[in-house]
Amino acid sequence: MYMSPSAIEPEVVFSGRRSATYRDALHLFPDVWRDDIDLMRRFLHPLTGKRVLEIGAGNGHFSRAIAEDLGPTGLLVATDPSTEQLDDLEAEAGGRIKVFGQAAHTLDLPIRNFDAAWSRGAVHHISDKTAAWKAVAAHMQPGGRFVIADIFAGTRVAAYFDDFIARSCCTGHEVAFLSREFATSLCALTGWEEPRFTDVTTRWRFRTKADLGHFLWLLFSATEAFSDDDCLIAAERHLDVVADGKGIALLWPMTVMETTRLPIRN
């Protein structure tokens, strides 16, 4: 694992208890993001032998799936300001994954000319998105693709975070959600084509509502002042929880942004 020579940004929250409960959530419910993995493959198209840059790798849940698709001749570079959950990722992957402890807005890697960059659920944590878009562009070859799947401003999920997660999470959740307009401006200012946006909804599946409530309590590391039931009630207030014949599903809406690196002008 390779650590940035510069200090990690102060907004880092995925450490300590926050990191531990997040890891526990995905350990107890390992198939909950199966739809999200399918979504990644649908939009990112990680192909054998390609080089992919991941922004905000978190606990490596998507890193492993991407590296699997890239095969033994491909490379995934997983970056995150906090690498507490990524300690074993390189060893597990047998050289197909390299981990760098760097924030997106100060990204400076010894590896360049990536074919694609991917980020899921991390962009709203980035404090300087203009610098981040520029940094990703600097690491991408012309024609390389930048794909993010995230919560956008003005959506039901953004309201859920601002209304409940900001109060219940042990670290708080002060973030900046992208709008389509600002994302389009960012791309114009930093060397990317005009982006395309697609609204998507994945299903987070559980056996029971009690399981859903516990997963949310762990995933967002709620303080002891909040119960599993509190987390479930808040999700039901803002989002859709449905029975679909296979148990219970939380419908999780996101927006996917796709853009392509423009040729570098001399």
Using one digit for the tens of pLDDT, what is the confidence trace for 211-226?
A: 999 999 999 999 999 9
Cα(152)–Cα(199) distance, integer angstroms: 10
Domain 2-153+172-202+253-260, classified CATH 3.30.70.20, yes or no: no
Distances (CA, A) of 111 to 98, 144, 187, 219, 229: 10, 14, 22, 32, 46
Enumerate the domain spans of the chain.
2-153+172-202+253-260
CA 147 to chain centre: 11
Q: What is the pLDDT averaged over residues 195-207?
A: 97
**47-104 pLDDT, tens digit each:** 999 999 999 988 889 999 999 999 999 999 999 987 777 878 887 777 789 999 899 9
**Predicted pLDDT of residue 246:** 83
Confidence of residue 245 (pLDDT cuts 50, 70, 90): confident
Count of H-run helices and E-run strands, the chain: 10, 9
For 16: left if phi > 0, alpha if psi spans -120 to 50, otherwise beta; the answer is: left
Residue 1: pLDDT over 50? no
Residue 177, CA atoms < 13 Å, CB-side half-sphere = 18
pLDDT at 14: 60
Question: Do residues 253 and 156 make contact, with C-beta atoms less than 8 angstroms apart?
Answer: yes
pLDDT at 2 over 90: no
pLDDT band for position 15 (cuts 50, 70, 90): low
Q: Assess whether pLDDT exceeds 60 at residue 5.
A: no
pLDDT tens figures, 127-160: 999 999 999 999 999 999 999 999 999 999 999 9
- Give the predicted TM-score (pTM) of the model: 0.92
